[in-house]
Amino acid sequence: MSKVKVLAFSISLDGFGAGPNQGLETPMGEGGMALHQWFMKTRAFRSATGHGGDDAAAEGGAAPSGDADASGDSGATAAENPSERFARDAMSNLGAWILGRNMFGPVRGPWPDDEWKGWWGDEPPYHVPVFVLTHHKRAPLEMAGGTTFHFVTGGAQEALARAREAAGGRDIRVGGGPSTVRQYLAAGQIDEMHLAISPALLGRGEPLLAGIDLVAGGFRVAEHVPTADATHVVLRRG
Amino acid sequence: MSKVKVLAFSISLDGFGAGPNQGLETPMGEGGMALHQWFMKTRAFRSATGHGGDDAAAEGGAAPSGDADASGDSGATAAENPSERFARDAMSNLGAWILGRNMFGPVRGPWPDDEWKGWWGDEPPYHVPVFVLTHHKRAPLEMAGGTTFHFVTGGAQEALARAREAAGGRDIRVGGGPSTVRQYLAAGQIDEMHLAISPALLGRGEPLLAGIDLVAGGFRVAEHVPTADATHVVLRRG
């Protein structure tokens, strides 16, 4: 049975999941990249984005290069940073993703053409069906490596139903942005959230939890793993 | 020159500084005590509240007993928990405090009599003048150990002016609650904040930072000290 999860979701100390004024040059909003420093240091991120042994494949702001001299090997070691486990778990046992349109790209309004294919180049790191919420029809977009972007115009519930069907019992990850996560939280449809509270202030942007009562929603703190780069918390229902 | 500080201020993972429905039995609001577990474990708290070697002096919900068998010695050791330093610093070089009325007690409306003298017994842990924001006049209340409660009916700015005068160049601590801190934040009058993000969810209550733009207010992250009990962050202006 698929669980619906929000994973490796970074928020600022002041509760924002993305900065203001998202655009081509600022895919996470202004200042938003600071939220993801913990993740971009991980081997899991670097190997998924092809930044293991070199950073030649940098493909735009959403996939900035890691340390150029760092090893791209994945796998645990005895003293590994706990962020490594969270980064790996965020990609494991996933059968489908759901993304808000802003996560897919900066294009607003009707799709002018099929030019924009996401932030991630020819082979996006998903490798499963990805359901993109949009008000504007577009034919499915098949990418290298198993990722197909499906553009869903029927709303969050249609996307979730299609994701469940596609996931084949594996988990469904709601990738964001904040407003997409909030829709599924408000509907009581998120089973688990791993949040990473990063040591950054944004001041403005999209708050993740404002107005959402997680206690009434049945969530409890299942894990609390502080690290120098971020404080990881896993919230689970039940 | 006095600085205006918010210190050892605990917030939940979902951003609340106090739970809902504050009252005599729930001085921190429902669920709010969970925010302060890190602090109540510290020697600084236990010695300030007379819970060092025993817990006989328990004096109501705001000063619950620490571990009855724990040592009351204060002072640093090589491997001390960083929370100890934050707890000590929260009480050092203070010349005056400002408290919202709910921090002083559960009484609402005009003071019926002088019966209520705060949550802290005959000798409160302040030892300096404390300015309590209220809409209702009351004569100053002199307590043992140097604490005098002054009841300020002229608003937050009057309280701050009087606190500056009383502080004699030492710092002024705005003790809370969240709405009192928010008033001074909105007025640009807080110089430093130490927040402790506790591994607890409240779901509802008083949010500390909602609608406050700390970046526009000139704050930056000066310290980030994760611990198992709470993630400490120090935010400073300038």
Query: Number of Cβ pairs closer than 8 Å across A and B?
Result: 77
Q: Percentage of residues in chain B with pLDDT exceeding 70? A: 87
With 0-12 / 13-18 / 19 or more C-beta atoms within 10 angstroms meaning exposed / middle / buried, residue B58 is middle
**DSSP-assigned states of every residue in B205-218:** SEESSTT--TTTTT
pLDDT tens, position by position, A5-56? 999 999 999 999 999 888 888 888 888 999 999 999 999 888 876 665 444 3
List phi, psi (to 5°) of B138.
Answer: -160, 145
Among A102, A101, A188, A174, residue whose Cα is nearest residue A137? A101
Cβ-defined contact of A214 to B195 (cutoff 8 Å): no
CA distance A168 to chain B (A): 33
In tens, the pLDDT along B103-126 reads: 999 888 999 998 999 999 999 999
Which pLDDT does position A73 carry in this prediction? 45
pLDDT of residue B77: 52
Q: Which of B195, B199, B209 sits opposite A221 (nearest CB)?
A: B199
**Residue B136: φ, ψ to 5°:** -125, 125
Residues of B in contact with A31 (CB under 8 A): 215
Mean pLDDT taken over chain A: 88
User: Which of A220-224, B56-60, B211-215 bottoms out in mean pLDDT, i.e. has the lowest?
Assistant: B56-60
pLDDT of residue A45: 83
Structure tokens at A213: 């009562």
Mean pLDDT taken over chain B: 88
**CB spacing of B214 vs A201 below 8 angstroms:** yes
Whether the Cβ atoms of residue B145 and residue B124 lie closer than 8 Å to each other = yes
Instruction: Tell me: pLDDT of B207 over 80.
Output: yes
Nearest to A200 among B209, B213, B221 (CB): B221
pLDDT > 90: percent of chain B: 75
Residue B95: predicted pLDDT: 98
Please report which helix (H) or strand (E) contains residue B97, including its range.
strand B94-100
Q: How far apart are CA A143 and CA A124, in angstroms?
A: 7
Q: List the single range of A167-176, B15-24, B161-170 with lowest mean pLDDT.
A: B15-24
pLDDT at A184 over 90: yes
- A215 contacts B210? CB cut-off 8 A: no
Name the percent of chain A in helix, strand, coil, to the closest 5: 20, 25, 55
Give the closest residue to A127 by CA, choosing from A168, A160, A95.
A95
pLDDT band at B51 (very low <50, low <70, confident <90, very high): low
Q: Who among B201, B204, B220 is closest to A221 (CB)?
A: B201
pLDDT for B188: 97
Task: Work out the number of other CB atoms within 10 angstroms of the CB of residue B43.
Answer: 24
Q: In sequence order, which residues have a C-beta less than 8 Å from that of residue A11 and are 6 or more positions away?
A: A17, A35, A195, A196, A197, A198, A208, A209
pLDDT value of residue B34? 92
Mutate to test the interface with B, among A10, A11, A12, A14 (most CBs of B within 10 A): A14
Report the residue of A38, A201, A225 to disrupt the B interface, i.e. the one with the largest count of B CBs within 10 Å. Answer: A201
Mean pLDDT of A202-211: 95
**CA-only gyration radius of chain A, Å:** 17
- Residues of A in Cβ contact (< 8 Å) with B197: 13, 197, 231
Retrieve residue A105's tokens. Answer: 């790209």
- Residue with tokens 């007379």, as numbered in its chain: B50
Q: What is the pLDDT of residue A23?
A: 83
Cβ distance of B226 and A221 shorter than 8 Å: no
How many other CB atoms are there within 10 angstroms of residue A112's CB atom? 8
On chain B, the residues whose CB falls within 8 A of the CB of A210 are: 15, 207, 210
Q: What pLDDT does residue B52 have?
A: 56
* A43-54 pLDDT tens trace: 988 887 666 544
| pLDDT computed for residue B35 by the predictor | 95
Segment A83-97, tens digit of pLDDT: 999 999 999 999 999
* Cβ neighbours of residue B131 closer than 8 Å, sequence gap 6 or more: B96, B97, B98, B99, B150, B152, B159, B162, B163, B166
Name chain B contacts of A212, Cβ cutoff 8 Å. Answer: 14
Q: What is the H or E stretch that residue B167 is in?
A: helix B156-167
Closest Cα of chain A to B211: distance in Å?
A: 8
> Cα separations (Å) of B186 from A207, B11, B221?
19, 18, 18
pLDDT computed for residue A40 by the predictor: 92
**Location of structure tokens 């606190």:** B163
Q: How confident is the model at residue B6 (pLDDT cuts 50, 70, 90)?
A: very high
Helix H or strand E segment including B132: strand B129-133
CA-nearest residue of chain A to B197?
A: A13
Residues of chain A numbered 133-192 and touching chain B (CB < 8 Å): none
Question: Which residues in A134-228 belong to E strands, given as ranges?
Answer: 141-142, 148-152, 171-176, 192-197, 206-207, 219-226
Q: How confident is the model at residue B65 (pLDDT cuts 50, 70, 90)?
A: very low
Find the closest chain A residue to B236 by CA distance.
A201
Q: For residue B198, what pLDDT band results from cuts at 50, 70 and 90?
A: very high
pLDDT in tens, B150-162: 999 999 999 999 9
Which of A202, A220, A226 has its CB closest to that of B231? A226
The C-alpha atoms of residue A91 and residue B166 are separated, in whole angstroms, by 57
Q: Tell me, rounded to whole angstroms, the distance of Cα A100 from its chain centroid.
A: 10
Rounded to whole angstroms, how far apart are CA atoms A194 and B142? 49
* Burial degree of A188 (CB within 10 A; 0-12, 13-18, 19+): exposed
* Higher pLDDT, residue B54 or B25: B25
Nearest-by-CA chain A residue for B219: A201
Q: What is the pLDDT of residue B67?
A: 39
User: What does the block give as tokens for B15?
Assistant: 């951003």
- In which element (H, E) is residue A87 found? helix A82-89
Q: What is the pLDDT of residue A66?
A: 38
Give the per-residue pLDDT at A137.
Answer: 96
Q: What is the chain A residue with the closest CA to B34?
A: A221
Residues of A with Cβ-Cβ distance to B227 under 8 angstroms = 226
A161-186 average pLDDT score: 97
Distance from CA of A235 to the nearest CA of B (A): 9
Please name every residue paired with A129 in a beta bridge, in sequence order, or none if there are none: A148
Distance from C-alpha of A133 to C-alpha of B236, rounded to nearest angstrom: 40
CB contact under 8 A, A13 and B219: no
Q: Which residue of A has its CA nearest to B204?
A: A213
Q: How far apart are CA A31 and CA B95, in angstroms?
A: 37
Q: Which of B213, B215, B221 sits opposite A199 (nearest CB)?
A: B221
